[in-house]
A and B are shown apart, each in its own frame.
Chain A
């Protein structure tokens, strides 16, 4: 594919500059963005949120917000400038020659129309004279091509009846049905589990190989980009900072920002470390014993076991990672510990105290021993409370005797611990960035000096470089304060970075547990191995070598 670069590009974005009008004046969103996509090539755009990567994609199809305006530059598609094309001719290109795959599979499909009808619609917009039967046959064929089994029956279903991975296949089928030359995929796998992400990426890769399709792939995930792209464009604050061939970019990044981005990616270590000695009988801070959490149980019907007979413990001062895909029950375990999920049977002991048996003030007293950091820092802080009030609230609830000044001092101390300026106590959450908000979340969880911290995907909503900074603070605090932590995450690299041991869950049951390094580098069970293999490595050479081995072993 690479020797084709000499040929004329399929798509050429020429020095595109884009403004968006806001009530506070115009904001420059893109500045002199230039990139090319050749036939059969996968070009990746990487960058953090706000870098303009999605805006670049939307400008190619001209589905920009009405306040956006192309100031200068152009978009050449096979020699035609899309920026100045009439609305009518633009429509004949959208979905026909250039198709789009959006990120959020939950919302990109019309909820009240069957999947089949929506794919048929995509075909008939561009083939108005085609017969119904014809369009239907094509729809079934395309769905089958992207790996949907029993497409005839499944096409009669509505989007909510399909799983996330399946819906994303439907969106890809919708993009493919008119046999386009270019597909723009905007974070196509971000909302999916790793194993499903691997399947979707394989579908895209195969399509490129079979149909000589070009793909413009937008992502923030360095692993995905290493896995997929031939060439990579790095964007920052609306500008392109570096364009390079994939191997060159990963082995010798030229721009400092690219370097920073690559450094921020948590990397799974390559080698298996010697198995750590089993800890000398340290008392466990958290003991979970035969935990069962069952939902929807009725007197005549067995309920759904979200957590099914799970036992593990978190030793004092240690970090234990809890990993698994969505629906594996990892968050439910966290919720059960803090009393937000019903314990059907089994035991949870924090600091040797059985939580289930506590009532009233004793239960409140016990809740001082654990703190919780939630996934979404934007919605887990009360928007009407200042940072100081948010962090101080646990103190108000549990240390009624504490004086106002003592409380204020403690809040300031906590802010400093998470490396935020003490002056920020009077700020409101919306004035902070995502990473800063999550630091506030950590500070709040630590306010009562808990023995145990439960962190439920604390960094999965953050950009990589921000994630790296938050994880640094977290790691340092953990070592200094010595609290124990149950770290719930779907990101194996993050878990390996932070935790000594790891518990792998699948459908509510433990499939493997042990020392983090050995489990994640040499998994013993089939499921754990699949999970580890599915996570793309941020290293193009190693990641692509993996495909070869999976092909040869398959």
Chain B
């Protein structure tokens, strides 16, 4: 167990470093020069060249790439991700500010998604091929196939424009900071993200429960004199083991949905920051964002692997 943990940790760190190198290289290879954009267009001729060179020197971009990389890596080790090209703020701080809202959005969406998906999936499995099953399955297919930005705009149109019951964007109303206001702002983005999550979880729960219900040990419980609901409890427990893994793997995927929704609902999270950085060629922020995603994926995979060996007795007690 400890051995697995150590080897997994070591390999995760190695993968993280490789990704860091890859990100650094990829950004340097991308076309376009951020410095060009920092120089005011009214400056021309020789002045412009001198100005550009000065900016380059200030950011250390006049050095050879290897030196740049070495400095950047050194910074990375001490938690220094560099400074934004466009507003000069430390990247680490920028990301940290955005972490809270994104975590709130994703966390609550994940939780609500699960609360919807587990009972719905179980109903669909137990009443296989019934109206309930078809309804649940088709709603989940629709929720997966319709892009979230479209649903987001529809929701804004109905709830914010027509009915005027929900705020259309942001986290707080102007001058307000209370919980009720925050909750009201959360309804649409969290609801839509939760729907997307639930849609994919439902399919896992349904097929997982169906598979387990067909197994011999379920028949054993019936033969013992157990009720169908007792048999279902056993089947559910077995199928949820694999759901934990799916869940951990889904978290990074959820992030991509969050990026889009954050943009639509002007949610002050990571996704919004990433899009800002992308359109302004703010490389340090982009790299920081990339590293953040890499870290999230690695940590989630680690959790998926380890949680399995903790909750599944077959893995836990194997020698």
A positions within 8 Å CB-CB of B: 61, 63, 91-96, 99-100, 102, 104, 107-114, 121-122, 125-126, 157-158, 160-161, 171, 174
Contact residues in A for B234 (Cβ distance below 8 Å): 110, 113
The verdict on A63 contacting B226 (CB below 8 Å), with A107-B216, A112-B313 known, is no
B220 in the interface (beta carbon within 8 A) = yes
Q: Which residue of A lies closest to B312 (CB)?
A: A112
Nearest-neighbour CB distance to chain B for A249, whole angstroms, equals 29
Asked whether, in the complex, the Cβ of B223 is within 8 Å of the Cβ of A99, the reply is yes
Nearest-neighbour CB distance to chain A for B138, whole angstroms, equals 24
Nearest-neighbour CB distance to chain A for B285, whole angstroms, equals 45
B216-255: CB near A (< 8 Å → 1, else 0) gives 1101111111110010001001100100000000000000
Cα–Cα distance between A100 and B314 once the two chains are bound (Å):
25
Contact residues in B for A113 (Cβ distance below 8 Å): 234, 237
Cα–Cα distance between A125 and B233 once the two chains are bound (Å):
14
B215 in the interface (beta carbon within 8 A) = yes
CB < 8 Å: which of B223, B238, B312, B317 contacts A110?
B238
Cα–Cα distance between A171 and B230 once the two chains are bound (Å):
18
Nearest-neighbour CB distance to chain B for A63, whole angstroms, equals 5
Give 26 pairs: A residue, B residue, CB < 8 Å, sorted on A. A63-B219, A63-B223, A91-B226, A93-B225, A94-B224, A94-B225, A95-B225, A102-B219, A102-B220, A109-B220, A110-B234, A111-B217, A111-B313, A111-B314, A112-B237, A112-B241, A112-B313, A114-B313, A121-B224, A122-B224, A160-B314, A160-B317, A160-B318, A161-B317, A171-B220, A174-B224
Nearest-neighbour CB distance to chain A for B128, whole angstroms, equals 10
Nearest-neighbour CB distance to chain B for A125, whole angstroms, equals 5
B positions within 8 Å CB-CB of A: 215-217, 219-227, 230, 234, 237-238, 241, 312-314, 317-318
Cα–Cα distance between A107 and B234 once the two chains are bound (Å):
13
Cα–Cα distance between A112 and B242 once the two chains are bound (Å):
12
| Contacts A102-B216, A110-B234 known; 14 new A-B pairs at CB < 8 A | A94-B223, A95-B224, A99-B224, A104-B216, A109-B220, A110-B217, A110-B238, A112-B237, A112-B314, A113-B234, A121-B221, A160-B314, A160-B318, A161-B317
Cα–Cα distance between A100 and B221 once the two chains are bound (Å):
10
CB < 8 Å: which of A111, A125, A157, A160 contacts B224?
A125
Contact residues in A for B217 (Cβ distance below 8 Å): 107-111
Cα–Cα distance between A113 and B218 once the two chains are bound (Å):
13
Nearest-neighbour CB distance to chain B for A99, whole angstroms, equals 7
Asked whether, in the complex, the Cβ of B225 is within 8 Å of the Cβ of A125, the reply is yes
Nearest-neighbour CB distance to chain A for B290, whole angstroms, equals 38
Tell me which of B312, B313, B317 has the highest count of chain A C-beta atoms within 10 A of its own C-beta.
B313
Contact residues in B for A121 (Cβ distance below 8 Å): 221, 224, 226
Contact residues in B for A109 (Cβ distance below 8 Å): 217, 220
Contact residues in B for A99 (Cβ distance below 8 Å): 223-224
Q: Which residue of A lies closest to B234 (CB)?
A: A110
Cα–Cα distance between A96 and B217 once the two chains are bound (Å):
18
Asked whether, in the complex, the Cβ of B224 is within 8 Å of the Cβ of A158, the reply is no
The verdict on A108 contacting B224 (CB below 8 Å), with A158-B314, A161-B317 known, is no
Cα–Cα distance between A158 and B314 once the two chains are bound (Å):
8
Nearest-neighbour CB distance to chain A for B224, whole angstroms, equals 4
Contact residues in B for A91 (Cβ distance below 8 Å): 225-227
Asked whether, in the complex, the Cβ of A158 is within 8 Å of the Cβ of B225, the reply is no
Q: Which residue of B lies closest to A126 (CB)?
A: B225
Asked whether, in the complex, the Cβ of A94 is within 8 Å of the Cβ of B222, the reply is yes
Cα–Cα distance between A116 and B54 once the two chains are bound (Å):
76
Cα–Cα distance between A93 and B225 once the two chains are bound (Å):
7
Asked whether, in the complex, the Cβ of A112 is within 8 Å of the Cβ of B224, the reply is no
Contact residues in B for A95 (Cβ distance below 8 Å): 223-226
Q: Top 3 closest A-B pairs, CB basis?
A: A95-B225, A107-B216, A95-B224
Asked whether, in the complex, the Cβ of B238 is within 8 Å of the Cβ of A92, the reply is no
Nearest-neighbour CB distance to chain A for B129, whole angstroms, equals 11
Cα–Cα distance between A160 and B226 once the two chains are bound (Å):
23
Contact residues in B for A107 (Cβ distance below 8 Å): 215-217
Contact residues in B for A104 (Cβ distance below 8 Å): 216
Contact residues in A for B215 (Cβ distance below 8 Å): 107
Asked whether, in the complex, the Cβ of B313 is within 8 Å of the Cβ of A96, the reply is no
Asked whether, in the complex, the Cβ of A112 is within 8 Å of the Cβ of B223, the reply is no
Cα–Cα distance between A369 and B219 once the two chains are bound (Å):
48
Tell me which of B216, B224, B234, B318 has the highest count of chain A C-beta atoms within 10 A of its own C-beta.
B224
Cα–Cα distance between A94 and B219 once the two chains are bound (Å):
11
Nearest-neighbour CB distance to chain B for A233, whole angstroms, equals 21
Asked whether, in the complex, the Cβ of A100 is within 8 Å of the Cβ of B317, the reply is no
Tell me which of A104, A110, A160 has the highest count of chain B C-beta atoms within 10 A of its own C-beta.
A110
